[in-house]
Amino acid sequence: MAQERDGGTPELGWHWDPERYLLFADERGRPFMDLLARVGAAAPRSVVDLGCGAGNLTALLTTRWPGADVLGLDSSPEMITRARGVGGARFEVADLRDWRPAEPVNVLVSNATLQWVPGHLDLLPALVSHVADDGWFAFQVPGNHGEPSHVLLHELAADPRFAPYTEGVARPHSHDPAVYADALRDLGLSVDAWETTYLHLLTGEDPVFTWVSGTGARPTLQALPDDVRPEFVAEYQALLRDAYPPGPHGTTLPFRRVFVAAHR
């Protein structure tokens, strides 16, 4: 976006913090690896990562397909600056809604990015048009927007103390696997779609807040003035501690993910 929307939309006035996002790099990276396992491309010439974020997962593409030209795109300049330290791939600042490749690509992937694009279901035909014959289009999006981490955030943001600042901020949204599968089959692709709920074991102080403040909650937190944000954060942390109490081994965060691997 982001990889967990590993990119931002600068016109909305918020930015991504690569360091905070990477605190849970292993947990955020596993869905990408599970997605790639279902992509059957053998020796693609071109591979594009839409919403490459800090580039740590794009590097996996260069390992999987060492002979390919791998390009990472993200609309967040902060993320691209960090990504350019990753070897083996090229990186550019670009908005996936406007991006047009010079020629069709063999593998087009997007990891936890599309949920930040309003109406992204309508964008699928354009994205598919960028995929070469016998190519692959694969993406993964969070499907946890009805979980307490998000519901409590939005309820608190609607409080009269905070609503004047948080109204209209970006919110992630995704669809069920069957919705994506039908849309892509209508475009003539063969589709493998599924969902998985990971049980991430988090440690440290207020670990769920640390997780969500690097991704889904970031636009809301950045929309708040500096003198208002501490009050919001304190109340949100307390709500999350009640919703996700620690156990004997740490705090369990159930996280639903939606996957699609489509072959043209």
CA distances from 99 to 51, 126, 130, 132, 143 (A): 11, 10, 10, 16, 25
The pTM score is 0.88
Which residues in 200-236 are b (16+ Cβ under 10 Å) and which e? bebeeebbbbbbbbbbbbbbbbbbbeeeebeebbeeb
* pLDDT at 33 (0 to 100): 93
Check: CB of residue 35 under 8 Å from CB of residue 261. Answer: yes
What gap in Å lies between CA 209 and CA 227, rounded to an integer?
19
* pLDDT at 25 (0 to 100): 59
Which residues in 64-85 are b (16+ Cβ under 10 Å) and which e? bbeebebbbbbbbebbbebbee
Ramachandran angles phi, psi of 258, nearest 5°: -115, 130
CA distances from 162 to 154, 172, 190, 229 (A): 10, 19, 46, 9
Check: CB of residue 104 under 8 Å from CB of residue 131. Answer: yes
Q: Report the interhelical angle of 229-243 vs 148-157 (nearest 10°).
A: 150
What gap in Å lies between CA 159 and CA 14, rounded to an integer?
21
Check: CB of residue 72 under 8 Å from CB of residue 83. Answer: yes
Reported in sequence order, the residue ranges of the chain that DSSP labels E, i.e. its strands, are 46-50, 69-74, 90-93, 105-111, 131-142, 190-202, 251-263
pLDDT in tens, the chain (264 residues): 333 333 333 233 334 454 544 445 576 788 999 999 999 999 999 999 999 988 989 999 999 999 999 999 999 998 899 899 788 899 999 999 999 999 999 999 999 999 999 999 999 999 999 999 999 999 999 999 999 999 999 999 999 999 999 999 989 999 999 999 999 999 999 999 999 999 999 999 999 999 998 888 999 999 999 999 999 999 999 999 999 999 999 999 999 999 999 999
* pLDDT at 87 (0 to 100): 80
* pLDDT at 187 (0 to 100): 98
Q: Where are the domains of the chain?
A: 10-263
Superfamily per CATH, domain 10-263: Vaccinia Virus protein VP39 (3.40.50.150)
- Region of 88 (left: φ > 0; alpha: ψ -120 to 50; beta: rest) is left
What gap in Å lies between CA 146 and CA 77, rounded to an integer?
30
